[in-house]
Amino acid sequence: MEKIGLFGGTFDPLHIGHMILAEAVREAWKLEEIWFIPSHLPPHKEKASVSGRDRMEMVRESISQNDKFKVCDLELLRGDKSYTLKTVRELKERYPDKKFFFIIGGDMVESLGSWYHIEELMEEVSFVGVNRPGYSFGTDYPVSKVEIPPLSISSSEIRERMERNLTIRYMVPEPVYFYIKRKGLYEHE
Ligand code: ATP
């Protein structure tokens, strides 16, 4: 069975931490592909600050050179609250010949207890977590750990830097940098 890593996120915007962790997990778990899944309305977070179309386009442009990375528009098309349980069930139904792994960072590992129908979700898919600075990885649920070089970068930091007119160059993939500039995203109103 082909092993696929599912990587959900708001990607508001995509940053190099996302890219590095996806590649690290792909290698460590010998995954065939990683599918980036931009969320429509993340259950745990505020609404994204730019449109789904923009967030998805930034992912699409950034992964275009990597044939093992794909973008999946299922949550954006569904257009409701982006519950992982629903997403995983839909993908398993659509691709019965693939084995899925769900990839999360240390902050999400800690929050698993509050996820929608977490017990059922645990039955549906295996979780792979990566360390994230500032988070302990503490959880009552089975999550396999892939150790990555600690990356203290976040989308909120990128948005804050944009607000303060500070550079974000090289903190995001080059296509994201140019996309943000071109479209004037995250600029102070
Ligand atoms: P925000 O700062 O807006 O909360 P974020 O940087 O956490 O955003 P998301 O798109 O919400 O970005 O994250 C998608 C997934 O990537 C989550 O599972 C998150 O834990 C993980 N992740 C993001 N950045 C890192 C990082 N620097 N180290 C480890 N995991 C990360």
How confident is the model over 64-71, as a mean pLDDT? Answer: 98
In percent, the amount of the chain with pLDDT more than 70 equals 95
Task: Tell me if 72 CB under 6 Å of ligand 1.
Answer: no
Using DSSP's 3-state secondary structure scheme, residue 29 falls into: coil
| 163 close to 155: Cβ distance less than 8 angstroms | no
pLDDT, tens digit, 9 for 90 and up, residues 48-58: 689 999 999 99
- The β-bridge partners of 3 are 99
**Which DSSP string do the residues of 80-125 spell out, in sequence order?**
SB--HHHHHHHHHHH-TTEEEEEEEEHHHHHHGGGSTTHHHHHHH-
Whole-number Å distance between alpha carbons of 64 and 43: 28
Instruction: Give residue 79's pLDDT.
Output: 84
pLDDT at site 81: 85
User: Which residue has the least CA distance to atom 8 on ligand 1?
Assistant: 155
- pLDDT of 24-47, one tens digit each? 999 999 999 999 999 997 666 666
Is residue 143 lining ligand 1, measured as CB closer than 6 Å? no
Identity at 110, one-letter amino acid code: E
pLDDT for the residue 41: 76
Q: Tell me, using a 6 A CB cutoff, whether residue 154 lines ligand 1.
A: yes
Q: Are 105 and 136 in contact (CB under 8 A)?
A: no
- Contact in structure between 12 and 49 (CB atoms under 8 Å): yes
Atom of ligand 1 nearest to the CA of 105: 20
Stretch 80-108: mean pLDDT: 96
Ligand 1 lined by 19 (C-beta under 6 Å): no
Query: What average pLDDT does the structure give for the chain?
Result: 95
Per-residue model confidence as pLDDT tens digits over 135-181? 999 999 999 999 999 999 999 999 999 999 999 999 999 999 999 99
Q: How far is the CA of 18 from the centre of ligand 1 (A)?
A: 7
What's the CA dihedral at 184, 82, 137, 144 to 10 degrees? -120
CB of 130 sitting under 6 A from ligand 1: yes
Query: CA 41 to CA 24: how far, in whole Å?
Result: 27
Whether ipTM tops 0.85, in short, is yes
**Confidence (pTM):** 0.96
Find the mean pLDDT for residues 4-17: 97
